[in-house]
Amino acid sequence: MSAPQGQVSLEDLAPEQLRQVQQQLDDELKHLTQAFGNLKAAQSKFSSCMEAVDAIKPANKDKKILIPLTSSLYVPGRLKDTENVIVDVGTGYYVEKSAKAAKTLYNSKILELRKNLTTLQEQIEKKSDNARAVSEVLRIKMSQERQKALQAGGTGEE
């Protein structure tokens, strides 16, 4: 099988080269899978933010709430403004936005992440297919080498 110009056919590679390609693909797959997990976590965070904004209703004005200072430390407070929220827009910057504008922002981030996740999933699938192909060619080459060794050993004894 001839590879397109500028590419090398897997069949033309030695087993050691195939192992190197396989290791590189495994490393890339690990990195892409980790990135996928990070993007999913970010998407989940933005979804939680949208749910939190939805929970702020005019009927809740002046109700007692717990304000988180850390993930496990809270102080009591009262909800004074049900129309505006302060949004973390990244790199330590916070902006006051209307609840509607905040939901629009979070929704656009979720949609962008969904698009990126789809692209990343396609890349992961392609890399997985490539890794399987390399594994298969490596398995065949190793089997062929074993056959040659057996034949060479068998013909020397006769």
- CA distances to 4, 22, 36 from 127, in Å: 19, 10, 14
Paired tokens of 153: 């050993």
Give the mean model confidence (pLDDT) for residues 128-147: 93
- Short-list 89, 96, 83, 91, CA closest to 46: 89
100-125 pLDDT, tens digit each = 999 999 999 999 999 999 999 999 99
pLDDT attached to residue 149: 86
Residue 83, classed as helix, strand or coil, is coil
pLDDT attached to residue 158: 47
33-51 pLDDT, tens digit each = 999 999 999 999 999 999 9
Query: Would you say residue 82 has pLDDT above 90?
Result: yes
In the numeric block, the tokens 């504008």 are attached to 101
pLDDT attached to residue 24: 96
